[in-house]
A and B are shown apart, each in its own frame.
Chain A
Amino acid sequence: EVQLVESGGGLVQPGRSLKLSCAASGFTFSNYYMAWVRQAPKKGLEWVATISTSGSRTYYPDSVKGRFTISRDNAKSSLYLQMNSLKSEDTATYYCARRHGGYRTFDYWGQGVMVTVSS
């Protein structure tokens, strides 16, 4: 059974940093692109980052480019999101998601982890 379990969320002050982790199991992690998607409270979904199987290619929207870094450790079946220079608008539930094979959709999602940016 595919499982994605996020951790590392919490309350952080504006301008500070936070690192999220996602532990994957139930599939061959190194064979799949992975991603982070977030959802602000009572809002819609926003794609945050995608990383290739080897980690050599990463993709971000302008809203987080230069502040967030996605990475992975295939030996540990783990995905990470380093978030720097956090802003109040980064407050959201962050989901780890697996890319759906050859399609750039997301077929499995974690339960999500809450990040609150506030002074």
Chain B
Amino acid sequence: DIRMTQSPASLSASLGETVNIECLASEDIYSDLAWYQQKPGKSPQLLIYNANSLQNGVPSRFSGSGSGTQYSLKINSLQSEDVATYFCQQYNNYPFTFGSGTKLEIK
């Protein structure tokens, strides 16, 4: 199985700041990488697919990048509504696997 190592586990940042979340795959996943946002008590929502494609309706302050085994999610101009846990997911190979999540809080 492909292991997804996500970092950091938690993050505290100020409003308006830029934050980065990293995901490292145990093997090349050829950009088959998605990012999800899960707000407290809610279902996950797709933010990014294909490593860098923004899902419809997602604010442009979210962006994804990376290739091979290393990927990142960037959130520009942090807003209060961005408080959530963020997960990466590889879908290059079955079984699909997720990162362990990054909990983002406002400082």
Binding site for B on A (CB under 8 A): 37, 44-47, 50, 59-62, 95, 100, 103-107, 109-112
Contact = CB atoms under 8 A, between A and B. Distances in A.
In order of increasing CB-CB distance, the 9 nearest A-B pairs are A104-B91, A61-B95, A109-B43, A105-B34, A47-B96, A45-B98, A105-B49, A107-B46, A44-B100
A62 B95 contact: yes
Nearest to B97: A47
A111 B98 contact: no
B73 to A, nearest CB: 14
Nearest to B89: A105
Contacts of A112: 43
Given A47-B95, A61-B95, 8 more contacts: A44-B87, A45-B89, A95-B43, A103-B32, A103-B49, A103-B50, A105-B89, A109-B43
A62 B98 CA distance: 15
A44 B50 CA distance: 21
* Range class of the B interface residue count: 20 to 34
Tell me which of A50, A109, A110 has the highest count of chain B C-beta atoms within 10 A of its own C-beta.
A109
Interface of B: 1, 32, 34, 36, 43-46, 49-50, 55, 87, 89, 91, 94-101
Contacts of B49: 100, 103, 105
A111 B9 CA distance: 24
19 contacts: A44-B87, A45-B36, A45-B89, A47-B89, A47-B95, A60-B95, A61-B1, A61-B94, A61-B95, A62-B95, A95-B44, A100-B46, A103-B32, A105-B34, A105-B49, A105-B91, A106-B44, A106-B46, A109-B44
A46 B46 contact: no
Contacts of A107: 46, 55
Contacts of A59: 94-95
